[in-house]
Amino acid sequence: MSTWKTPQRIWLTGATSGIGEALSRKLIAQGHHVVLSARNVEALEALCEGHPHASYLALDISDRQAVLDAGETIRERLGALDLALFNAGTCEYLNAQQFDMDLVERVFKPNLLGTLYGVEAALPLLRAARQEGLPARLAATSSASAYLPLPRAEAYGASKAAVSYFLESLRLDLDQEGIDVSVIHPGFVKTPLTERNDFPMPMQVTAEQAADAIIAGLVKGRLDIHFPRRFTYLVKFLGILPPAVRRLIGLRMTRAQKESS
């Protein structure tokens, strides 16, 4: 199992479900000083119970002031952060024939703005770790859908693509401060969110496998943590094809969905 040589001070959002829950359990088991955030207080309490190095902050990442307040609380508890890992998010699919802007906003608020609120709150804590002479890393969960436009994924895919672009750009501007930035691009992972999907999900992995891949990537300092690689490399390749070819591939997916519904 991959881990760091010394215990890390880690803030993890989206900590009580799917990939986040698997990450929570593994990071706690590895002995890191973790602060877990999510909206489900009972689930947070259960994860932290019996682990003195684990604590929680119930949090709605869509609330900017609440996220900033969480950052101040973490400063009081840990002094600094070695890793800020923003994993919280949601997924809804858009029906273009019944365009729903409320749906788009529901997806963008936690996925993009919630992540950026976390970045705003975490940067002073990551800088504090650098002032201690320690490495510091910012990471967030995007999606393999950020590599390739997909049917009905206008809101979800665009929100994740925006996360990827923002963090990759931020990586360049934080380099002079020695703060590294990793972007996580999972393929299909078996979680409560994906269980609602009504289409085939090839090469699906478990949340535990996803957590192992993420931790291994973070330990190795990878900038783009993507998995399963046989799937994500395929999606990356499709994403660089000419627009006309990508359109034909997307239309085939759309027709397949219509035939299966």
With beta carbons less than 8 A apart as the criterion, state whether 92 and 108 touch. Answer: no
In a domain, 1, yes or no: no
CB atoms within 10 A of CB 66: 16
Diameter over CA atoms, the chain: 58
* Number of domains the chain contains: 1
Query: Is 62 part of any domain?
Result: yes
Domain-located, residue 81: yes
Ranges of residues in the chain whose predicted pLDDT is under 50: 261
Q: Is residue 223 part of a domain?
A: yes
- Residue 203's pLDDT is what? 76
- Nearest to residue 89, comparing CAs of 145, 27, 169, 31? 145
Residues of the domain holding 50? 9-260
3 is a domain residue:
no
Q: Residue 150 has what pLDDT?
A: 86
Residue 24: per-residue pLDDT:
98
The overall pTM is greater than 0.85: yes
Backbone angles phi and psi of 125, in degrees to 5: -75, -35
Looking at residue 70, what is its pLDDT? Answer: 98
Domain CATH for 195: 3.40.50.720
